[in-house]
Amino acid sequence: MQRSIIAPGERVTNLRWVIAGILGFGVLINYIDRGALSVASKPLHDELGMGPAEFGILSSAFFAVYAFSQMPIGYILDRYGVVVISRIGAFLWSIASMATALAPNFASIYAARLFLGLAEAPTFPANAKAIGYWFPRNERGLATSLFDAAAKLSNAIGIPFTAWLLIMFGWRGMFWTTAGLSLIFFALFYAFYRNPSRDKRLTQAEHQYILAGGAEPETPEGERPRGASLAYLLAQPKIWGLAIGFAAYGYLFALLLTWLPGYLQSTFGVNILKAGSYAFIAWIVGTATDLIVGGWLVDYLIQRGFDANRVRKTVLIAGLIMGFAVVGAAYTKDINIAVMWITIAIAGISFHAPVGWSIPALISPTNSTGQVGGIMNFLNNLAGFFAPTITGIIVARTGSFNTALITAGVILIVGIVSYTFVLGRIEKIPDPA
């Protein structure tokens, strides 16, 4: 049930930005959970005898379940809403980290990573849907970048943080800590997140401002609205253009998320703390470009009257073009030059990502944002599943990361073509008849 809207003299408050901050904190913890495994590669090798190929398979376990959960999770989100599904998912993150800490062998860790993939599957489609509820269209760039930039920030602070935990408490103690952080987020989300129509802290003026700016209609509590069918959505070229383009980003992001510390250690002979410090530089730059370019600049240009479609598509394509800089790292033996190329690539894909995540709420038929986000994130994480596995196999066979980095560059070209010729205008897909 929608509340009454406006009272004279009320000012537009900023509760929506608090909500975006809570979503961002959840993604920060989410990605620390995901990335912790990359820091544990050496002790897992020493204790369990894992080589590069085995570690690549283990790294891909998360993405396997995560990817194939996306379309059913999108349907469930559209039917049951953000609140219930996100609460369940957040609680299960901590259980998965506890299971990893207790795992006695490779098979047990693999199973725990599969479970983590299922638990974290609702995160990004749910956040995209929540931003659609809470923000007018001309503020969604920055709002989306607040939770997407947290993924990059987690790699900047998470790698040094988890490396320190590893040194102090061992790899099992590291995962016990991430489990505790996940429980903290669960409690925060359970206590503070509500949809706008149910949040008593939301002023009438701010609610009116959100609705007048084109907020997505909420899933009514107690009702189970049906959106467009999966068959209808899969028949839309616009959705395929978005999903394939975003999958190209996902391949490079997953490669760097899972292999960057190992790449720096094996290629240049640095220890984990040194590798973590280089990774910190690259990911903190990515965090900044995510917020400034993918968030603030996109909203600024649209609010100043620039064509929204042209702004968003330009940023999407420019981000992947910059991502191609990762190929430069394959042609140097100097760690500083390699990190420079990788930092440029991370900067580009980072400001690309929040624009990509803002699009499902902008193009989806009524009550279908979760499904569209699920389709997009399915291909994104299917690419993420293959990236660490393919990289591990290449490294095991060649003893080098060079071919793996060039492969990522070729995949980015496919993404650029998809955005340019298949996505079309960023506008709402008509509801099915």
Averaged pLDDT for residues 286-313: 93
Burial 246-259 (b: 16+ CB within 10 A, else e): bbbbbbbbbbbbbb
> Is residue 389 domain-resident?
yes
> Is residue 50 domain-resident?
yes
Please report, as a single letter, which amino acid is at residue 313.
K
> Is residue 72 domain-resident?
yes
Report CA 1 to chain centroid distance, whole Å. Answer: 31
pLDDT at 23: 94
> Is residue 433 domain-resident?
no
What does the alpha-carbon distance between residue 81 and residue 78 come to, in Å, rounded to a whole number?
Answer: 6
If you count them, how many residues does the chain have? 433
Residue 15's pLDDT band (cuts 50, 70, 90): very high
How many Cβ atoms sit within 10 Å of the Cβ of residue 331? 12
Please report, as a single letter, which amino acid is at residue 110.
Y
CATH assignment at residue 232:
1.20.1250.20
Q: Where are the alpha helices (DSSP H) in 269-304?
A: 272-289, 298-303
What does the alpha-carbon distance between residue 352 and residue 375 come to, in Å, rounded to a whole number?
Answer: 18
What does the alpha-carbon distance between residue 157 and residue 112 come to, in Å, rounded to a whole number?
Answer: 24
| 197 membership: H or E segment, kind and range | none
> Is residue 431 domain-resident?
no
Q: Is the pLDDT of residue 222 over 80?
A: no
> Is residue 9 domain-resident?
no
Per-residue pLDDT reduced to its tens digit, 235-283: 999 999 999 999 999 999 989 987 888 889 888 988 877 887 888 899 9
pLDDT at 10: 65
Domain of residue 190 covers: 15-215+226-421
If one counts the domains in the chain, the total is 1
What does the alpha-carbon distance between residue 236 and residue 231 come to, in Å, rounded to a whole number?
Answer: 9
- Structure tokens belonging to residue 375: 């389709």
> Is residue 10 domain-resident?
no
Q: Is the pLDDT of residue 339 over 70?
A: yes
* pLDDT: which is higher, 253 or 46: 253
> Is residue 307 domain-resident?
yes
